[in-house]
Amino acid sequence: MAGIDLTGKVAIITGAARGQGAAEARLFTSLGAKVVLTDVLVDEGEGIATELGARFVRHDVGDEAGWETVVETAVSEFGRLDVLVNNAAICQSVPLVEQSAAGFEAMLRVNLIGAFLGVKAVVEPMRATGGGSVINVSSQAGLQGLAGYSAYGASKWGLRGMTKVAAIELGPYGIRVNSVHPGMIDTPMVAHLGIRPGPGGHPGAPLTRVGMPAEVADVVAFLASDASAYMTGAELAVDGGASAGKIPTPAP
């Protein structure tokens, strides 16, 4: 990626065994970063880590003690911590009247509380080195309401809001906190929707196609780098324009 350099930076990327997280881990290492990958998918995560010369930690982001292990791994292996990418998430489409309280809470536990615990866990090691960058991967569903996604949307709107509060509170320590809002991206998480890559595959977006994980990774790497040094509390949509507004249906 031209103009972006992560040489010397140490990053934690959650949910990095596949999809967007794996793309981010590959790009970060290619740009010079040292990476600690975390996921609950052990075989896939270890495979990516071996491929990249990175470190893998099995990690449920909703477990506070697990965050201590991840941060300790980054600092002990690489001597510092500069970047956290809160990428791990789960998604399920359920009509609001059919959504169980347990299912709603499970979505919040991973998508929102997990990110909250991560931000708390990295503050001290980032302060120790003069600052850092936290990138919270929210969603198009954190910018607008999407029918069928009450729990997922609540978690992603919450993550968007928490990002802004964290940016305000942590800015004096040199810690930047921004959110990225992917739309329909070609990952295993949305494979059940039967999306078709390429032009015309996603008529709900002005660019008419789904995004690719590498396209989200490019934006995340920018926010992790010094090229975005004066950006905090920002929200960047990577959704092919889908959140810009509703596309009119042509008259018959």
Q: How far is CA 167 from CA 19, 154, 225, 228, 240, in A?
A: 27, 20, 16, 14, 26
Are 216 and 28 in contact by the 8 Å Cβ rule? The answer is no
- Phi-psi label, residue 145: left if phi above 0, alpha if psi -120 to 50, beta otherwise: beta
Active site residues per annotation: 152
Q: How far apart are CA 170 and CA 162, in angstroms?
A: 12
Q: How far apart are CA 42 and CA 60, in angstroms?
A: 11
